A and B are shown apart, each in its own frame.
Chain A
Amino acid sequence: MNLVPFGETCKLQNGRAFKPIEWSDFGVPIIRIQNLNDETKPFNYCNFEVDEKFHINTGDLLFSWSGTPGTSFGAFFWKRGKGFLNQHIFRVDVDERKVDKAYLRYAINSKLYMIIDQAHGGVGLKHITKGKLEAVEIPLPSLAEQKRIAAILDKADAIRRKRQQAIQLADEFLRSVFLDMFGDPVTNPKGFAVGTIRDLVDTANYGSSSKASKTNGEYPILRMGNITYEGSWDFSDLKYIDLNEKDKSKYTLKKGDLVFNRTNSKELVGKTAVYEENAPMAFAGYLIRVRPNEKGNSYYLSGYLNSKHGKNTLQNMCKSIVGMANINAQEMQDIRILNPPIEMQEKYEKVVIETRKKLRAFHESKVGFNELFLSLSQKAFAGKL
């Protein structure tokens, strides 16, 4: 296949070095690296005219040549209208009679690992020089072939993005189900009895404060980092401990236990998840193991504590000492909550379990679709597609 240096396929125009004093609250948005891959990031604006070579518009191909590897390097399409280009970003101008921009984007991004390898700079922040970037060789087939490859990769990319959307929707679905079944906790439209978490709890115990080891021990021990903010589990970093006969029942979790994080930063305190594994694991002292009584259900409690209202309540009740916020077992049980009939709570549990099953399948297929894209991309640029 015909390999050409990237520099021969396009002309690179670097952005303008805007000084902080030139920033304004109105005018034309200044496009910075953070605005490329995250639409929620705010713009700085510029309220005077700059040289035309720094103008950007929808459809322009941009390449960010500085930043932290893995997050900000790479080529992006700009889709949000007129803007001025900030430094550390190239606008990639091509002769569209010879080069297809969409193709070029996939082609250069497939070489990113190599580009980042050649980048220089200190810890975290790295730069690639214009010369080195221009020297990177990419395959350049005929325009028609470029368009064909770009269309295939577009399709594969769309599939993996839709999968991600589906994952987000499934999460929203659970919240929606909770609200639909139990109503807004503030207005309590369904008129459930109002009580506290204590009404639904049988026991609430603190975990083991013994020192855990990275390698040795019979039981994996869950620590606060193992609960995610959204209320599920992350077992990627586990430690282990041994438990004697007496402590086994005291410090281990069984399927269906609710686990509550009692100390963390103000934003994270009160993370809650339901333990769903069959094999027992131990839990550490900053966690509280909650076992509901016959009137309560772990999934219902977890659903509430992970809802927006629940998170708000937690953040407003915690007491903080030097950066750490605290909610002890008693305070946690003092939280006001609706006490719907147990049958409804159990129905909610079933929906959660079903949806989670689906979610796991989604996650697996997301991994699959990602591999598909990478494999297609590799084949395409090896001339084998």
Chain B
Amino acid sequence: MLTGQLRNDIDKLWEKFWTGGITNPLTVIEQISYLMFARMLDMQEEVAERKAARTKKPFDRVFPDTTEGQQLRWKNFKNMSGSELHGHIKNNVFPFFASLGHPEQTKDVKAKKLAKKSALSNNQAGTVGSALRALAHIGEYMQDADLAIKNESVLVSAVAMVDNLPLTQSDVKGDIYEYLLSKLTTAGINGQFRTPRHIIDAMIELIDPQPTDVICDPSCGTAGFLARTMEYLNEVYSSEAGTFKDEDGNLHYSGDLLEPYRTHINRHMFWGFDFDSTMLRVSSMNMMLHGVNGANIHYQDSLSKSIKEHFPQQEENFFNVILANPPFKGSLDESNTNPDVLGLVKTKKTELLFVAHILRALTLGGRAAVIVPDGVLFGSSKAHQQLRQELIENNQLEGIVSLPSGVFKPYAGVSTAILMFTKGGTTERVWFYDLQADGYSLDDKRTPLTGEGSNDLPDAIKQWHKYCQLIENNSRPATIEKHFGDKTQQAFVVNAEDIKNNKYDLSINRYKEVVYEEETYEPPKKILKKLKTLEMEILADINELEEML
């Protein structure tokens, strides 16, 4: 978490944008991203320069070694005056970004891929730093970069603020960006909104990703799942020496034990797809600021049949772990939908298609945690039942965490659940958790709550790991029944057989049992007596009143 001065500075900058007339939070983040990108590119160049000076070897410059070229560097333009700065950034710096990703200036997809491949082999030969490659990778999404800041004084303060950000501290810059993203409080079209971070974190803890996994979010948005997974790995894989406290008392995890996996993490571990190019920009930047230099963030509608052409490998049997909060109500062009996904469920509902797609994209034994609207769990259409049957008969549907309906407020009041499943095998039993509180009020304000019963997430995670332990130890059904058989508890298991007999209905209400208090009333005769007394009193009162008048 970001605290103290830094947070204040960012808040101030945000306000500056507002008063400068830029009120769309996404635009603000985009603009700050561009500036951060400009600065980091320069920082990168400087490191390379120093290295070259030491080793006396030539290096591939990003910025041409000309007066104009050097003027594009952050350190050389950051002190320009307002009017000069504005024109320079708009007319020189940003157009330069756009050219970075595609030196060959081609629109042809295949050629692009070839170019990328050659960049990769160059990289492996050690001529270009991996961070530089990552920056060039972001360049792909900087093509239409445009300076939206019209007010010169806003621009000057923005540049000054970005210049002050501690972008050299690897674990802080991720926090900075996440803090910026947390200000994204407007829901987009097509049912996009930012998944609350504490829900993301809980899902990551439930799935417990490993540094050898290949992880994907097929509708990545701002890459919240991927970036938080990186944070999770850093936290789990930090030695004592690699953990320190800053002056505000916050713990920082260096992730030093991840070193053996670093190449895998940087190049191959993280995959995100989205079809909103602004989001892709933000995602790439988010991943880079979280220390992942080569995250595979790509423009792709995961449900479209074009995925077979663009990502034939990734489309099927590829990922070990998938974490997702797919759009629930996105509109869909059925004629463009991946026919193999439609083969699993014939429907127009994106929430069903995404689950089907995720099943396909997982490797055998791959695990997923997916947020779905409750309708997926009990919908009675053929497609709904087909999908649930597929999950239970041909895969292992392991757990369902039923979430309270306010979790996505104020964007949506829909009730949802987290589905956890593993590809392949058959389901023996499903673990349910009835989550009543997530640590925030369930109204539009979503104020943080403390105190008993205000947050079930830690307990859900604890119970789930306890259950996983039982399964791992090959416990006998009776043992599992002993721990999770009581359906009046928040966590319980239901046999797949029962679910089959209920038309594969997975709604928790179908299976949970409620403890009722015994009802007590006074016996009818006693109440009648009271009524009689009352009636007599009323009559007496009326008589008295009569006398008083």
Q: Which residues of A contact B (CB under 8 A)?
A: 148, 151-152, 155-156, 158-159, 162-163, 165-166, 169-170, 172-173, 175-177, 179-180, 184-187, 307-309, 312-313, 316-323, 385
Residues of A within 8 A of B413 (CB): 322-323
A318 near B531 (CB under 8 angstroms)?
Answer: no
Given A169-B534, A172-B521, A312 and B516 contact (CB-CB distance below 8 Å): yes
A173 near B531 (CB under 8 angstroms)?
Answer: yes
- Select from chain A the residue with minimum beta-carbon distance to B512: A316
B531 near A184 (CB under 8 angstroms)?
Answer: no
CB of B537 within 8 Å of the partner chain: yes
B514 near A159 (CB under 8 angstroms)?
Answer: no
CB of B530 within 8 Å of the partner chain: yes
Q: Which of A175, A176, A316 contacts B514 (CB 8 A)?
A: A316
- Select from chain B the residue with minimum beta-carbon distance to A170: B531
CB of B374 within 8 Å of the partner chain: yes
Q: Which of A308, A316, A322 contacts B519 (CB 8 A)?
A: A308
Given A166-B534, A166-B535, A179-B521, A152 and B514 contact (CB-CB distance below 8 Å): no
Q: Could you write out 12 A-B pairs with CB less than 8 Å apart?
A: A152-B548, A155-B541, A156-B545, A170-B531, A175-B519, A176-B521, A177-B524, A180-B523, A185-B516, A319-B378, A321-B374, A322-B415
Contact indicator per residue, chain B 497-538, by CB within 8 Å of chain A (1) or not (0): 000000000010110101011111111100110110011011
Given A309-B516, A321-B375, A176 and B524 contact (CB-CB distance below 8 Å): yes
**Chain A at the B interface: mostly helix, strand, loop or mixed?**
helix
- Select from chain A the residue with minimum beta-carbon distance to B537: A162
Further pairs besides A148-B548, A316-B512: 17, Cβ < 8 Å: A165-B534, A166-B538, A169-B527, A170-B531, A172-B522, A172-B527, A175-B519, A176-B527, A187-B518, A307-B519, A308-B517, A309-B516, A319-B509, A321-B414, A322-B412, A322-B413, A323-B413
Interface residues of B in 454-482 (CB under 8 A from A): none
Q: Which of A162, A177, A307, A320 contacts B541 (CB 8 A)?
A: A162
Q: Which of A162, A172, A184, A319 contacts B374 (CB 8 A)?
A: A319
A169 near B531 (CB under 8 angstroms)?
Answer: yes
CB of B542 within 8 Å of the partner chain: yes
Q: Which of A159, A309, A317, A322 contacts B545 (CB 8 A)?
A: A159
A163 to chain B, nearest CB (A): 7
Docked complex Cα distance between A155 and B545 (Å): 7
A159 near B414 (CB under 8 angstroms)?
Answer: no
Residues of A within 8 A of B528 (CB): 173
CB of B385 within 8 Å of the partner chain: no
Residues of A within 8 A of B514 (CB): 312-313, 316
A162 to chain B, nearest CB (A): 5
Task: Pick from B378, B520, B527, B542 the residue with the most CB of A within 10 Å.
Answer: B527
Docked complex Cα distance between A76 and B405 (Å): 41
B544 near A173 (CB under 8 angstroms)?
Answer: no
Docked complex Cα distance between A172 and B374 (Å): 37
Given A176-B522, A180-B523, A323-B405, A316 and B509 contact (CB-CB distance below 8 Å): yes
CB of B114 within 8 Å of the partner chain: no
B519 near A184 (CB under 8 angstroms)?
Answer: yes
Residues of B within 8 A of A151 (CB): 548
Contact indicator per residue, chain B 213-242, by CB within 8 Å of chain A (1) or not (0): 000000000000000000000000000000
CB of B549 within 8 Å of the partner chain: yes
B548 to chain A, nearest CB (A): 5
Docked complex Cα distance between A313 and B415 (Å): 19
Docked complex Cα distance between A186 and B516 (Å): 7
A162 near B534 (CB under 8 angstroms)?
Answer: yes
